[in-house]
Structure 1
């Protein structure tokens, strides 16, 4: 019975260590579950970058953006980048829920007015 308890404790410890590692090396658990489990559609949001990011232990950068769709509806977006982004740039982010799947830098003039009005 004692061996079963030790084995169960070890299994729980391994699961928590794995969850911690996922949180610290990826966009986080919620965005990953949005991407893989929920089957949400890919949507486009517009963001203005800042110099706020979290440097991960693996050398990557985790950004949390506030994105706006073309009508101005707001969405939190988390994306892990291989490099730092230039502050003040405008991005078109393709998202699944809160997970940023892809992005492209665009000019301010390309941001829809509904989204631009909310980016104050």
Structure 2
């Protein structure tokens, strides 16, 4: 179970870092730039810990899938990015793929 907590921390840190990337304005703004650097360092550290127990393909699928959805939602809220119906459907399919992997795949490390 601990490896899933590590993956959750990695995903959260990556989402914070990616969300701050736009606000960093090409690394010209100190606080957002610091969030980007610390966020990515934290994300990769915890992803590395995750990979001790979860296969890399599975970890990366969960990481990228949830990251895409969370960053898109945050970008919508913070930056006014509009999500049209095809984008929402696509993200729903990503979430469905992660759920199918977790429920039915024997390669997820549980």
Larger radius of gyration: 1
Does the alignment reach a TM-score above 0.5? Answer: no
| TM-score, normalised relative to structure 1 | 0.26
| TM-score, normalised relative to structure 2 | 0.28
